[in-house]
Structure 1
Amino acid sequence: MAADIPPRTTASRATDRPGDPSPFALGLLLRRAHWRAAAGLGEALRPLGIELRHFAVLIELVNHGPTVQRDLVTATGSDKAGIMRIVDDLERKGLAVRKAVAGDRRVRAVQITPQGLELFDAAHAAAEPVAERLVAGLGRGEAERLTDLLTRFAHPADGEA
């Protein structure tokens, strides 16, 4: 049995520690940063009666106006069933409505309601102290630099992957 185990190499094992040369290190650090931010922002949203998944859809609706559910799937990284549940939740809470799309009886666009816009603004106010805490350990200009780098990473130019 021991002969079936590949020999150990001296190559770095994937971690998320500073200076890790592993090809997985960046992904692991981004995942840890996401967990930290999501936990704090989720706590800020909880008193408002929504979760980050709901807020992700509200962001798309505010930024792009009425949006068909298939486009919400793509924009949020969700799946069809997940978006259906999220939109159902938003409708139950009065934060969004489904409206018929002209020319296609089968397709519905999701639209934010005035109550949804109010909650959207309240969520931003609730999230400000969390966002400040997330970057509190960074030096002058580093939060802006981090935002710039992550924006370029998340939205590469010229369709780069």
Structure 2
Amino acid sequence: MAADDPRRTTASRATDRPGDASPFALGLLLRRAHWRAAAAMGEALRPLGVELRHFAVLIELVNHGPTVQRDLAAATGSDKAGIMRVVDDLERKGLAVRKAVPGDRRVRAVEITPQGLELFDAAHVAAGPLTERLVAELEPGDTEQLTALLTRLAHPGDNEA
């Protein structure tokens, strides 16, 4: 009997299709948008010899200055081993250095180098055309509105946005 078939129901199935009313729809759409944005950012970073995981750490270093690895891991959603590999890569490329933290011999802070800052700036230049392509389907003013809404969603209670 069709009514007893669990595959046939009037309840909304979670999809990321336009118009989906599922309670999961927003998260699924954000995930798909993230994939597209991450691919564009990866394309911008690839010629510079870094990946998005490296750039995420550089963003934190630019925003907060020298930062201990534990805090970098938390800020980038990485684990201890993962952040160590990323910082090792950045050091090997001359984009960041580890420095002793005064008063604690066991802890090292990661600091961006002048070469890291140059790459950071170059990445922003490279990302410009790719970002324009990413939002090409949006109407004038939509990009600003989308940015404002995502900022409120990503930083709840933060009035700086």
TM-score range, shorter chain: over 0.9
- Alpha-carbon separation, structure 1, partners of 2:62 and 2:28: 31
Question: What is the CA-CA distance between 1:64 and the residue it aligns to?
Answer: 0.4
SS at match of 1:22: coil
Name 1:135's counterpart in structure 2.
135
* 2:18 is the counterpart of 1:18: yes
Question: What is the CA-CA distance between 1:7 and the residue it aligns to?
Answer: 6.9
Unaligned runs of 5+ in 1: none
Question: What is the CA-CA distance between 1:61 and the residue it aligns to?
Answer: 0.2
Scaled by the length of structure 1, the TM-score of the pair is 0.92
Name 1:99's counterpart in structure 2.
99
Unaligned runs of 5+ in 2: none
- Alpha-carbon separation, structure 1, partners of 2:102 and 2:41: 37
Name 1:112's counterpart in structure 2.
112
1:138-160 CA deviation, whole Å, 9 max, x = no partner?
111100000000000000017xx
Scaled by the length of structure 2, the TM-score of the pair is 0.92
The one-letter code of the counterpart of 2:124 is: H
The one-letter code of the counterpart of 1:155 is: H
1:110-130 CA deviation, whole Å, 9 max, x = no partner?
000000000000000000111
Cα RMSD of the aligned pairs, angstroms, is 1.3
Question: What is the CA-CA distance between 1:6 and the residue it aligns to?
Answer: 5.0
1:126–1:7 CA distance, 2 compared to 1 (3 A): closer
The one-letter code of the counterpart of 1:88 is: D
- Alpha-carbon separation, structure 2, partners of 1:31 and 1:6: 27
Query: Counterparts in 2 of 1:47-66, with a 5 A limit?
Result: 47-66=47-66
The one-letter code of the counterpart of 2:60 is: E
The one-letter code of the counterpart of 1:125 is: V
- Alpha-carbon separation, structure 2, partners of 1:26 and 1:121: 32
The one-letter code of the counterpart of 1:53 is: R
Name 1:86's counterpart in structure 2.
86
Name 1:71's counterpart in structure 2.
71
Using the TM superposition, name which of 86-95 and 18-27 deviates more.
18-27
- Alpha-carbon separation, structure 1, partners of 2:151 and 2:20: 23
Question: What is the CA-CA distance between 1:9 and the residue it aligns to?
Answer: 2.6
The one-letter code of the counterpart of 1:113 is: T
Question: What is the CA-CA distance between 1:19 and the residue it aligns to?
Answer: 1.3
1:48-81 CA deviation, whole Å, 9 max, x = no partner?
0000000000000001000001110111111111
- Alpha-carbon separation, structure 2, partners of 1:81 and 1:123: 26
Percent identity at matched positions? Answer: 84
